[in-house]
Amino acid sequence: MTYPEVVDYLNSFIDYEKIQPKDYKGAFRLERMKGLLAKLGNPQQNLKVIHIAGTKGKGSTAALIASILKESGYRAGLYTSPHLISFRERIQIDGCMIGEEDLCRITTSARKGLDQMRPEGLSFFEAYTAIAFLYFKEKITDFAIMETGLGGRLDATNAVKRSISVITPISYEHTRILGSTIRRIAREKADIIKADSICISAPQEKGALDVIERICKKRRAHLYLVGRDIHIDKGRFGQDEQYFNVWTRFSEYALIRLALRGEHQIINAATAIGAIEALRLYNVFIPHERIKSGISKTEWPGRMEIINSRPLVVADGAQNRASSRALIDGIKRHFNFRNLILVLGTSKDKDQRGICKELSQAADYLVLTRADNPRAQDPDILKKYFRKEKKEVFPKSKDAMDRAFSLAGQDDIIVVTGSLYLVGEVKKRLNHEKTDNS
């Protein structure tokens, strides 16, 4: 198959990132994924996996871990979702996304098994997760960092048998699917914890922590908790960096430089350090300076990322209430500005009321829009959550950004948020314009 044929083929599988599933148990079946992997020779079986679940910070934490491993001379596979521009971004080794030729070859070789499982309701995410496992096995990665797509218990990535588990902060998301309480959501996500393993957890609400501790005890997994076993001392910060100190049961790390913005990223970095230290399970001991260097070199697009300088445009894929709160705190922490022009578009299944409540008080002007995605919410519906007079609706993101640029003065900031799909759409357009004008 050629690359365009592979794109069409993979897009022919049902995609629950675009279409909301009516039946969670029918849409997400771990046994179906295990059946597919068995047909493909169980490529996941001998991989050394660092498995990440949670609500906030999964991708950033995964990127931090991968960067540290790369800096330490290990071959690190990274699997994340969703993507911003190309779905090849989801599968990376040492910071490089899977090449078109590799993707074509692996998809072609896996096609028979994929087609056999299609009648059972195989999804795009399941198919692509299998391709990631095949790629990481073929390239003989030392470690595979796997981010769950949704939940954990029934997620396709949970087909791995043994792993180091990482749980990032858990908050409300996908409540119709995962459950309406923090405890129920935590039960779904913490089910990635394997027996006789190690689990690293970011700070959690009491209900979520109770669940994680109970599962760890039941499965004889050692739990290391940021805030209890891993301590943070937050230091100075500027527009492009921040510094902090960490000390653990094993070591101390002083003056760590982090280029990712926001205090929440410090928590993600401390969680990543805990995961790296947990590699002692595999007799892997990484020097301090490699850990610090890996953190300082971590880049993670679409997370409080500057995508334009004049006017200043910052893009962040915050898509729930807690992430929106962290975004606003981070914007105020790292940037000086006069007016904040908010370009917002969310998905239908997100906590729109909560997101809008967190963002409404910070925004001086509101430009409501939607990504070109079937799950994107109608901006006219978002409009009812805001009382501000200075709000406008533009169904297309291009028109919304044109309006935001026309509103922005020299000392203003434009913040694009609410959906990684919207962020990717805006980034693609701005990059295209910069290329045309260069």
pLDDT in tens, 415-430: 999 999 999 999 999 9
pTM value?
0.95
Asked if residue 1 has pLDDT above 70, the reply is yes
Instruction: Report the alpha-carbon angle 19-21-26, nearest 5.
Output: 140
Q: What is the pLDDT of residue 172?
A: 84
d(CA 434, CA 426): 12
d(CA 31, CA 28): 9
Give the position of tokens 């009648």.
119
Beta strand spans in 259-300 (E): none
Q: Taking a C-beta distance cutoff of 8 angstroms, is the pair 232, 267 a contact?
A: yes
Q: Is the peptide bond before 119 cis (omega within 30 degrees of 0)?
A: no
Q: What is the pLDDT of residue 438?
A: 44
Asked if residue 162 has pLDDT above 80, the reply is yes
The chain-wide mean pLDDT, for the chain, equals 94
Q: Taking a C-beta distance cutoff of 8 angstroms, is the pair 362, 353 a contact?
A: no
Question: In the numeric block, which tokens belong to residue 354?
Answer: 């909560």
Local structure of 218: helix, strand or coil: helix
Question: In the numeric block, which tokens belong to residue 232?
Answer: 């943070």
Q: Distances in Å between the alpha carbon of 258 and those of 85, 265, 299, 315?
A: 25, 8, 10, 18
| Mean pLDDT within 7-28 | 86
Q: What DSSP state is assigned to residue 60?
A: H
d(CA 26, CA 330): 39
What is the gyration radius of the CA atoms in the chain, in angstroms? 21
Percent of the chain with pLDDT over 90: 85
**Which pLDDT band holds residue 173 (cuts at 50, 70, 90)?**
confident
C-beta atoms surrounding 222 within 10 Å: 13
Instruction: Report the alpha-carbon angle 310-311-315, nearest 5.
Output: 110
In order of start, what are the domains of the chain with their CATH numbers?
Answer: 3-296 (3.40.1190.10), 305-433 (3.90.190.20)
- Please state the φ and ψ torsions of residue 404, each to the nearest 5 degrees: -60, -40
d(CA 438, CA 418): 30
Collect all residues with Cβ–Cβ distance below 8 Å to 67 and sequence separation of at least 6: 95, 294, 295, 297, 298
Question: In the numeric block, which tokens belong to residue 329?
Answer: 């705190």
Residue 61: its H or E element: helix 58-71
